[in-house]
Amino acid sequence: MNLYLLRHASAGTQRTNPLLDTKRPLDKDGKQHCIVLAQVLGSLNVQFDLVVSSPLKRSLQTAALVGTELGYESKILISKALAPEGTLDNFRRLLETCGSYENVLVVGHNPNLTAFLGSLIVPSNGEAGRPASLRLRKGSIARVNMERRPASLQWLLDPRIVRTLYTSSATSVRRKTPKK
């Protein structure tokens, strides 16, 4: 299985009221980033068989925008394992239920997503028990090959890299020739 871990896109300032914060939507930059990310993933021929999201609005919006742009037409599975209070055990159980799919996108929050990613690529009995040192900015996506244990990090796209890939693919690479 190829597992894609996507941290939700920009959603503005965190609310002090936890109930209101669960309903915080993506801001304009976050929505735009989702469209650009989907176009970059499309140019990499990435398709998803299953999309799983945290129940929080900003994650659901991120999953829906990216999925729709890539032609994902099935229902988005909502999992509390990807919510901010989700645990590593819950995440592992979620992965077990997704084992029959080839390409799975999970959309969630930090610090959970970073911890989940680290636990996949560095075994728990790893070097002095230290977790992997990774950084997932808002809108970052990682591709992990789950064929073996520990899993293998194939690539990690930061939002700045996504913008660079998008702008470089949008410009023409043909040489200009003079008109006669």
The pLDDT of residue 34 is: 95
What's the CATH number where 42 sits? Answer: 3.40.50.1240
In a domain, 82, yes or no: yes
In a domain, 40, yes or no: yes
Looking at the 3D structure of the chain, how many domains does it have? 1
Order the strands of the 152-157 sheet from edge to edge: 77-78, 50-53, 103-108, 2-7, 141-145, 152-157
The range of the structural domain enclosing residue 92 comes to 2-11+20-167
105 domain-assigned? yes
Q: Is the pLDDT of residue 124 over 80?
A: no
List pLDDT tens digits, range 41-51. 999 999 999 99
Phi and psi at 85, nearest 5°, equal -90, 5
- Cα distance between residue 76 and residue 64, in whole Å: 8
Q: What is the mean pLDDT of residues 56-85?
A: 95
Residue 97 banded pLDDT, cuts 50, 70, 90: very high
Residue 79 domain-assigned (yes or no): yes
72 alpha carbon, distance to own chain's centre: 15
Number of C-beta neighbours around residue 73 at 10 A: 6
